[in-house]
Amino acid sequence: MPRGPREEILCGLFAEVLGVAEVGVDDSFFDLGGHSLLVTRLVSRIRTVLGAELPLQRVFRTPTVAGVADALATADQARPPVTARPRPDRLPLSYAQERLWFLDRFEGPGATYNLPLVLNLSGGLDREALRAALADVVARHEPLRTVFAEDAEGPHQVVRDDADPDLSILTTDTERLDEELSAAARRPFDLTAEPPLRVTLFETSGDEHVLLLLLHHVAADGWSLPVLAEDLATAYAARLDGAAPAWQPLPLGFADVAVWQREVLGSGDDPRSLLGGQLEFWRERLEGLPEELALPVDRPRPVVASYRGERLEFEVPAGLHARVVEVARAHRVSVFMVMQAALAALLTRLGAGTDVPIGTPVAGRGDEAMERLVGCFVNTLVLRTDTSGDPTFADLLDRVREADLAAYDHQDLPFERLVAELKPERSLARHPLVQVVLTFDTDGPAHERIRTAMPGLTVTEHAATTGAAKFDLVLGFAERRTPDGDPDGLRAALVFATDLFDETTARSLTTRFLDLLAAVAERPELPLHAVDVLVGEERVPVAGLGVEGVRSTVPELFEARVA
């Protein structure tokens, strides 16, 4: 197909977002490695470059350059971009900050929303250069020096001018390091009195250090961590030379985003606003949602959740990954949607019912100006998965695709605003609306995307955990690709609430999931009831298979035994 000016621009944008050398007019975005998060980035680039507002659904329905070009012919004009603007004296919270502030007030201070970034620093560390670099980074990113207050009008943020972070230096040894690091990562923040960044440097020997940058989620999200690490490395290199970092100024501050949200997205109370329209969508979409999923727990849910959790890691092998990719392409869905359908099918087979709400995080960075900001932009979407009627896995994929695309096109409405509107029973025992979350990352976990070089130092990421579980179950995948772009397996982890699950039960869930995924990837035409979810010793022969060894139903076996 010949290229016109619009197609030429779109080919360039596809290649830029996908990180490939060239894209043809008839190449599919998803065949070249695209996924849901990259669709969001593509739509953002189209908004900036072409000034058009393209629904995410259109990219999924017509994922080629030619298809997107046709869609742009009738697309709406892009919404106003995020820009620096006059700020009121009283700065509002962003929508994501509102949610984290509410949870802090509702649940009380704790480690549940602590976000640790831990770096091993091997070599000759200049502590004064590090201290100055930390001050540079805090001055650059407003959320790192923001505290929160509440008055008669509600909560608001106070951006402090002071950019000197509190750097604690502790001497320890390798035997005690992990214990002391874990204890430091679990210390709660007082959001009203201290900035949501705490820095600790552990010295294990003269040339060996571990740097803990502990953030509260109100100030950062997973996307922020590589940005923070890169800016710290840039500032450290400059300070070693006795200079301030010569980085490009940020186009706006995080507080500008909060002001923009109120002006452009509007209020859920106004049906004519963008958020008002989205609220109507979610009211209809989530009507009658179950209050709580019936999960295969080991013990009753406590009255007040402790939010303690543990993490199990496992792998989806490369061969199964490749088969999942084939199924996704054949059914016009993303790999994430295949994993979501498999998770919903497993939960249904384990007794959770046929109305399965699954939460998933979305980056919330729909404008290019937000990409280099440290801040909390992430939102949670409720993906309601309908497994009723014993569908085949292929049919379930169709349902998931349609439901997810509609949800992604209404992702601006803050989760806490949705909770306030739907008014589910508030409980200290469980998370509202969703208790199970699915995450998917094609670039690896956030900490594995951190590739930081600091002069005179070897920098590697150090695993750290707060031992927290925000939800009953969080199933996460990180996709790997070979240098040629072929599927190379998925790193996976299950974080489970220890209030509810023993490790043996959690591990059996990962085994069942892999078995089910392998079965439906090989035969998508299987109805859900035909997928085996038993493991190990659960597969036992039933005495008395029927006349002459012919298998019978359980009621028939019972009648025969009685007779």
136: pLDDT strictly greater than 90: yes
pLDDT score at 541: 60
pLDDT digits (tens, 9 = 90+) for 29-74: 888 877 766 887 898 889 889 999 888 888 888 899 999 999 998 8
- d(CA 360, CA 473) in angstroms, rounded, equals 12
Task: Tell me the mean pLDDT in the region 200-207.
Answer: 94
Comparing 264 with 233, the larger pLDDT belongs to: 233
Q: pLDDT band for position 90 (50/70/90)?
A: very high
Q: Which residues are CB-neighbours of 457 under 8 A, at least 6 positions away?
A: 121, 122, 123, 124, 125
Helices (H), 26-64: 36-50, 56-61
Comparing 560 with 227, the larger pLDDT belongs to: 227
pLDDT digits (tens, 9 = 90+) for 146-175: 999 999 999 999 999 987 888 999 999 999
pLDDT score at 450: 62
Q: CB atoms < 10 A from the CB of 189, how many?
A: 24
Of the candidates 56, 37, 61, 42, the residue with the CA atom closest to the CA atom of residue 479: 37
pLDDT score at 447: 43
544: pLDDT strictly greater than 70: no
522: pLDDT strictly greater than 50: yes
In the chain, what percentage of residues exceed pLDDT 70?
95
- d(CA 56, CA 411) in angstroms, rounded, equals 11
pTM of the full structure: 0.86
Terminal-residue alpha carbon distance, the chain: 73
Comparing 513 with 105, the larger pLDDT belongs to: 513
88: pLDDT strictly greater than 90: yes
pLDDT score at 449: 54
pLDDT score at 551: 53
- d(CA 215, CA 219) in angstroms, rounded, equals 7
DSSP character string of 288-355: T--SS-----SSPPPSS---BEEEEEEEE-HHHHHHHHHHHHHTT--HHHHHHHHHHHHHIIIII-SE
Q: pLDDT band for position 494 (50/70/90)?
A: very high
Helices (H), 486-548: 503-522
pLDDT score at 523: 97
pLDDT score at 275: 84
105 close to 424: Cβ distance less than 8 angstroms = no
Which DSSP helix (H) or strand (E) runs through 140?
Answer: helix 127-140
Q: CB atoms < 10 A from the CB of 192, how many?
A: 15
pLDDT score at 147: 96
Q: Which residues are CB-neighbours of 409 under 8 A, at least 6 positions away?
A: 55, 56, 57
252: pLDDT strictly greater than 90: yes
pLDDT score at 384: 97
pLDDT score at 108: 85
pLDDT digits (tens, 9 = 90+) for 434-491: 999 999 986 544 444 566 789 999 999 887 778 889 999 999 999 888 888 789 999 9
- d(CA 223, CA 141) in angstroms, rounded, equals 14
Comparing 67 with 106, the larger pLDDT belongs to: 67
pLDDT digits (tens, 9 = 90+) for 309-329: 999 999 999 999 999 999 998
Of the candidates 18, 48, 49, the residue with the CA atom closest to the CA atom of residue 35: 18
Task: Tell me the mean pLDDT in the region 120-136.
Answer: 96
543: pLDDT strictly greater than 60: no
DSSP character string of 422-477: H-PPP-SSS-SS-SEEEEEESS--GGGG----BTTEEEEE------B-SSSEEEEE
pLDDT score at 274: 83
